[in-house]
């Protein structure tokens, strides 16, 4: 009984230690996959952002606007225009998809020869979320894409949203536009343009100035303008480092925000103005300490292992326990074997004529009564 109590006390101490280890570490949480901008197929709009079986058709009108000339290898703006915002439903927040097909699988622009240089929010995905507050009945959002080959391309706009009020409150809505055909043309030989490998900076840290380097072709002069979210447009000083190499500096952001810039390229051919490139500013994320995470995982593993062992440990009933610890019969038998029967304290009287032939005094001392009983019947002489 005492051993069982000590075992229980040890188990309680171990469990308390594991609980302390778990409680002393910082729990981490992953960012939900259904929220925020990113690179997503249309299937995500009909499934992971709502119950596909309950989706209703959105009443929003969708269209796509693009430049008159779209050159192979050169950045171009593609804008989704949403009409009817907050008319039939109180959307509050809408998710916009820019798609190359409606297959709901591998249907991002990347699958059809487009490169996404900017999503307008400081990222490089085909999906963005926009608030409808203050937008009126229409909303626009612009991406910067770069095609890799000449030919016809199809783009689609898709939207998903909810309803914050009315009879359809909480219900998911989904819609997709018709196809918009875009012709990608070969670049004229003398057209001032950006280098085909140019990748714009899309994100930076708050408080840091950003130096941008431009590589161009057939360009003799470059001017750059930039604007903040309040819409004010300012000029940036551009320096030529070597022929067709230019650099300028964007001012530091004081808080998380999005700044946009564009360049006008001048040369022998017609002047070209690039799309607005968005540069987001964010606070540098704190470094994650791996030690507490590993400690937490180790403690959780031990806790789970201890729970499994405790559940699998066989339990003994009271009767079985009593049977295990009650060794009275065995002890009695053992004592009987180790202590043979002592001879009677009264020695049988000798028969007439003394000891029987062949007997010794010791034999008579032990077995004299049996001899008398066998000879005389009553054990008496």
pLDDT per residue as tens digits for the range 72-101: 999 999 999 999 887 777 777 889 999 999
Q: Please state which of the four CATH numbers 2.40.100.10, 1.10.3720.10, 3.90.1150.10, 2.60.40.10 is assigned to the domain occupying 188-285.
A: 2.60.40.10
- Mean pLDDT for the stretch of residues 108-123: 93
Residue with the bigger pLDDT between 134 and 319: it is 134
Question: What tens digit of pLDDT does each residue of 215-230 get?
Answer: 999 999 999 999 998 8
Round to whole Å and give the CA distance between 159 and 127. 10
Round to whole Å and give the CA distance between 19 and 59. 53
Instruction: Lowest mean pLDDT of 20-24, 87-91, 216-220, 281-285, name the range.
Output: 20-24
Residue with the bigger pLDDT between 108 and 14: it is 108
pLDDT for residue 28: 39
Q: How many CB atoms lie within 10 A of CB 282?
A: 14
Inform me whether the pLDDT recorded for 336 exceeds 80.
no
- Mean pLDDT for the stretch of residues 305-320: 62
DSSP assignment of 207-269: T--EEEEEEEES-SEEEEEEE-TT--EEEE--EEEETTEEEEEEPPPSSSEEEEEEEEEESSS
Reading the block at residue 145, the tokens are 């894409």
Q: How many CB atoms lie within 10 A of CB 317?
A: 8
Yes or no: say if 263 and 224 are a contact pair by the CB < 8 Å rule.
yes
Inform me whether the pLDDT recorded for 12 exceeds 70.
no
pLDDT for residue 163: 79
CATH 1.20.1580.10 fits 32-186, yes or no: no
pLDDT band at residue 315 using 50, 70 and 90 as cut-offs: low
Inform me whether the pLDDT recorded for 56 exceeds 60.
yes
Instruction: Lowest mean pLDDT of 3-7, 106-110, 265-269, name the range.
Output: 3-7
pLDDT band at residue 367 using 50, 70 and 90 as cut-offs: confident
Instruction: Lowest mean pLDDT of 5-9, 126-130, 188-192, name the range.
Output: 5-9
Q: Is there a common fold for 32-186 and 188-285? A: yes
pLDDT above 90 as % of the chain: 44
Domain residue ranges in the chain: 1-30+295-335, 32-186, 188-285, 341-381
- Mean pLDDT for the stretch of residues 115-124: 92
Q: How many CB atoms lie within 10 A of CB 140?
A: 15
Inform me whether the pLDDT recorded for 121 exceeds 70.
yes
pLDDT for residue 266: 96
Residue with the bigger pLDDT between 159 and 6: it is 159
Q: Tokens 């809408």 correspond to what residue?
A: 94
pLDDT for residue 87: 75
């Amino acid at each position: 009984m005492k051993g069982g109590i000590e075992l229980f006390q040890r188990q309680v101490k171990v469990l308390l230690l594991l609980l302390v280890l778990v409680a002393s570490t910082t729990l981490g949480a992953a960012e939900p996959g259904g929220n925020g901008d990113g690179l997503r197929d249309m299937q995500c709009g009909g499934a992971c952002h709502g119950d596909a079986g309950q989706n209703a058709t959105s009443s929003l009108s969708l269209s796509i606007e693009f430049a008159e000339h779209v050159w192979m290898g050169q950045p171009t703006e593609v804008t989704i225009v949403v009409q009817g915002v907050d008319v039939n439903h109180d959307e509050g927040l809408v998710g916009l998809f820019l798609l190359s097909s409606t297959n709901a699988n591998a249907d991002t622009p990347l699958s059809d020869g487009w490169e996404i240089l900017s999503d307008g929010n400081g990222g490089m995905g085909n999906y963005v979320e926009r608030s409808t507050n203050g937008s009126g009945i229409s909303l626009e959002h612009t991406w910067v894409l770069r095609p890799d080959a000449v030919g016809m391309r199809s783009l689609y706009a898709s939207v998903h949203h909810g309803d914050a009020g009315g009879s359809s409150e909480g219900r998911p809505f989904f819609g997709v536009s018709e196809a918009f055909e875009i012709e990608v043309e070969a670049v004229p030989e003398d057209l001032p343009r950006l280098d085909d490998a140019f990748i714009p900076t899309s994100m930076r840290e708050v408080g840091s100035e950003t130096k941008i380097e431009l590589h161009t072709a057939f360009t003799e002069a470059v001017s750059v303008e930039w604007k903040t979210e309040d819409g004010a447009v300012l000029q940036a000083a551009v320096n030529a480092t070597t022929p067709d190499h230019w650099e300028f500096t964007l001012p530091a952001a004081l808080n998380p925000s999005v700044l946009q810039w564009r360049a006008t390229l001048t040369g022998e051919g017609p002047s070209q103005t690039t799309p607005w490139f968005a540069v987001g500013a964010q606070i540098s994320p704190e470094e994650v300490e791996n030690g507490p995470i590993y400690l937490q995982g180790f403690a959780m593993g031990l806790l789970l292992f201890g729970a499994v062992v405790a559940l699998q440990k066989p339990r003994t009933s009271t009767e079985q326990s009593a049977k295990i610890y009650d060794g009275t019969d065995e002890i009695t038998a053992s004592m009987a074997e180790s202590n043979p029967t002592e001879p009677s304290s009264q020695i049988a009287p000798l028969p007439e004529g003394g000891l029987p032939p062949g007997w010794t005094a010791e034999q008579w001392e032990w077995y004299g009564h049996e001899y008398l009983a066998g000879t005389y019947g009553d054990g008496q002489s």
